[in-house]
Chains A and B, each alone.
Chain A
Amino acid sequence: MTTYLGSLQLHLQQLLSVDSTVLVMGEDILDPYGGAFKVTKGLSTKFPDRVITTPISEAGFIGVANGMALRGLKPIVEIMFGDFITLGADQIINYAAKFAAMYQSALEYHLVIRMPVGGGRGYGPTHSQCLEKLFLGIPHITILAPSIYHDPGLMLASAIQQPGPVLFLEHKLLYSQELITPANSPFAVNLSDESFPLVRLTNNTEKTADLTLITYGGALWLPALLQKMAEEEIWLDVLVPSSLNQKAHPTLAVSASHTGRVVIVEEGAGPFGWGAQIAYDLQHAMLNRLTAPIAVIHAENTIIPATQALEQLHLPNLQKIEQKIYEVLS
């Protein structure tokens, strides 16, 4: 049994072992502290020359990583909290994302920026956000968000081989969780054979699904939702992409073409997000074949409260999703 954290730790160690051009940078990542979420624990002891602790200066060290990547190294940068990525946005948008397109084949460029994201732990407005929508739609950035049904370490290993900059989103709530695999899940789990797989879950393999549910990343409410819906005889086809900065995966439309009803859930705040784009892609693919309008659930369009009870109300939660499913089915 592996946890989300364990998988990341294991594959980071392997990456540094097999490839001497890989190095890791970030704030407070050295032992004994080993990083705010312990992803780099033990790493600096094993690879003291290639685990580099940095000052509190995201723009600076993402810039340094950019330089390293330009010269053929493969830096993996940790942003202590995903919220701080805004400080490095200029280096990512105006430099990292531009290199590949500007220099074309002359350049072999690899950079992964790992970011713990998301709420649910009472960390308040500036340590709980899902800010990926700031980077969605920027060309030449790969945005990955492994869920608990993906293997995050394996995806990290593929991410560093991906040309161009990769933002790698790790939801904080997942670190301590056991990974859910086809072998240990009570419900059917299928992964597509892509490097950044699409996960497909259903709570009834015998019956035609009633509704397509699309989400990514954190989504720790999923196992409970599948269970609850099974008790209510509502059969879900759940699709969990791991790669965000691209058009809707074609399987999403295939599912929607069977169910005709779609609910999209994302944790980011308010409108203009990933869910809106997926809804657009689906309505384009589906023409007039949807039975009900596509529903998108996201966080409330305001700051994230620090009080955990209020935070629960602010973020998408089991009750809100359940209610929306009934609405879309009615």
Chain B
Amino acid sequence: MSVLLYAPMVNVNEEQMNLVEWHKQPKEFVNKGELLATFETTKSTYDFHATDPGFFVPLVEAGSQVTVGEVIAALTDQPNEDIQNLLSVETKTEEAKPQSLQQTADNRWTRKAEILAQRHNIPPQEMERRVSADNRITEEVVQAYLQQKSTTAEKQANQGFSNATERILILGGGNVACLVLDILARIPQQTAVAILDDNPALQNTTIMGVPVLGNLDRAKSLFDQNFFDKAALAVGILPTRRELFERLTTLGIPFVNIIDPSAIIGVNAGMGTGNMIMAFCRLGPESQIGDNNFLSAYVNIEHHNKMGSHCTFGPGVAMSGGVTIGSSVRFGTGIYIEPRLTIGSNSVIASGVTLTADVPDNTVVRAKANFHN
């Protein structure tokens, strides 16, 4: 049988080599195993022997560069045989290659559409009926179906629960952000979508798996793009907390109350918005707090307390009943407050104080027994 001969791989590092010499004349008969050609690579020379018997038809000239795998000669059964057939078979198999590598899987669906349909338990026939046989079933088709379905029966069944997840933008990427994210991790109805912070070192990082997407100025544009539903201030320090709340509220950005699931909110207790209520806090019955207050863990706002806005608490501050607190009051850690006292706005109550008398506005109350180093 007539055969084609290919340039062998002599040196694994080289795709090309020099064909130095043909040892036979064109049309000369060659026996199997006879020396036919010599190649030279950059490392060695290599003798090439006939793989079959036949009449020799050289297809490249001695002295030329050949590529590994290239057809270099033919050995034919008959002298003067036409080798065009052999060569055309060769090109055909080459052309056929890419096709055989192609996916043979059903091409009717895009994979995205298929996966989406499976995720939502949509019967495949339902989609196939909607699209003519020569068109692919795409994500758009499945999405349209889901949209339609959710506007009718499914939506009724899910009333009050569809779109239940509130998307929260966290403002501030410091330690307080971790407190807020920790709470959100335990509240399935709320999810943090991103964090904004002015610190350049935080950009392009993640905090507990939530990306930092820019500085605080981006909040407005992200809200306008419907990227989030509500904002939460992860800042525990006054007056920054107050300033940010007021600035962003003016821009029309809504805030959310973040309430740890372990907190107890009593009957008829009420609050404004933007409050942070950490683990094991309690708002007693009939108590009322304003906006943007920051309650660390174990803060007890007792029954019938009234509190303004922007107050910050260290852990473990316990009120008695009927206390009235102004706005922007800073409480330290571990403070007890007697019943029915009034604490004026912009005051500071130091850690460890047991308060037994009213505090006017703008007053700093220090603890006598505090240890000072």
B112 contacts A254, C-beta separation under 8 Å: no
CB of B338 within 8 A of chain A? no
Question: Which A residues are CB-close (under 8 A) to B205?
Answer: 250, 253-254
1/0 contact trace for A105-143 toward B, CB 8 Å? 000000000000000011100010000000000000000
With known contacts A257-B209, A258-B211, A326-B111, A251–B12 Cβ distance under 8 A:
no
CB contact between A233 and one of B13, B43, B138 (< 8 Å): that residue: B138
CB of B110 within 8 A of chain A? yes
1/0 contact trace for B140-176 toward A, CB 8 Å? 0000000000000000000000000000000000000
CB contact between B42 and one of A33, A258, A326 (< 8 Å): that residue: A33
CB distance from B111 to the nearest CB of A (A): 4
Question: Which B residues are CB-close (under 8 A) to A34?
Answer: 42
Majority SS at the chain A contact face: loop
CA distance A231 to B139 in the complex (A): 11
1/0 contact trace for A286-303 toward B, CB 8 Å? 111110000000000000
List residues of B (55-84) whose CB comes within 8 Å of A's CBs.
Answer: none
CA distance A34 to B14 in the complex (A): 12
CB of A32 within 8 A of chain B? yes
Question: Which A residues are CB-close (under 8 A) to B185?
Answer: 287-288
CB contact between A36 and one of B13, B15, B110, B111 (< 8 Å): that residue: B13
CB of B187 within 8 A of chain A? no
CB contact between B12 and one of A32, A123, A233 (< 8 Å): that residue: A123
* A interface bracket (residues with beta carbon within 8 Å of B): 20 to 34
A233 contacts B42, C-beta separation under 8 Å: no
A287 contacts B209, C-beta separation under 8 Å: yes
List residues of A (253-289) whose CB comes within 8 Å of B's CBs.
Answer: 253-254, 256-258, 285-289
Question: Which B residues are CB-close (under 8 A) to A121?
Answer: 12
Question: Which B residues are CB-close (under 8 A) to A329?
Answer: 111-112, 115
CB contact between A234 and one of B42, B111, B204, B209 (< 8 Å): that residue: B111
A254 contacts B211, C-beta separation under 8 Å: yes
CA distance A289 to B191 in the complex (A): 10
* B interface bracket (residues with beta carbon within 8 Å of A): 20 to 34
CB distance from B212 to the nearest CB of A (A): 8
Question: Which A residues are CB-close (under 8 A) to B138?
Answer: 233
CB distance from B214 to the nearest CB of A (A): 12
With known contacts A122-B12, A127-B12, A233-B138, A330–B112 Cβ distance under 8 A:
no
Question: Which A residues are CB-close (under 8 A) to B13?
Answer: 36-37
Question: Which B residues are CB-close (under 8 A) to A232?
Answer: 110-112
CB distance from B338 to the nearest CB of A (A): 42
1/0 contact trace for A25-42 toward B, CB 8 Å? 000000011101100000
CB of A178 within 8 A of chain B? no
> Quick one: closest B residue to A258, CB to CB?
B211
Question: Which B residues are CB-close (under 8 A) to A36?
Answer: 13
1/0 contact trace for A41-52 toward B, CB 8 Å? 000000000000
1/0 contact trace for B13-37 toward A, CB 8 Å? 1010000000000000000000000
> Quick one: closest A residue to B194, CB to CB?
A257
CA distance A123 to B139 in the complex (A): 43
CA distance A232 to B112 in the complex (A): 6
Question: Which B residues are CB-close (under 8 A) to A127?
Answer: 12
CB of B208 within 8 A of chain A? yes
1/0 contact trace for B201-219 toward A, CB 8 Å? 0001110111110000000
A233-B111, A288-B185 provided; 7 other pairs, C-beta below 8 A? A121-B12, A233-B110, A253-B206, A254-B205, A285-B206, A286-B206, A330-B119
Would you list the 4 A-B pairs with minimal beta carbon distance, nearest first?
A233-B112, A232-B111, A286-B209, A289-B209
Q: Which A positions have Cβ atoms within 8 angstroms of B?
A: 32-34, 36-37, 121-123, 127, 176, 210, 231-234, 250-251, 253-254, 256-258, 285-290, 326, 329-330
User: Would you give 29 A-B contacts (Cβ < 8 Å), ordered by A?
Assistant: A32-B42, A33-B43, A34-B42, A122-B12, A127-B12, A176-B15, A232-B111, A232-B112, A233-B110, A233-B138, A234-B112, A250-B205, A251-B204, A253-B205, A253-B209, A253-B211, A254-B204, A254-B206, A256-B209, A257-B206, A257-B209, A257-B211, A287-B209, A289-B210, A290-B209, A326-B111, A326-B115, A329-B115, A330-B118
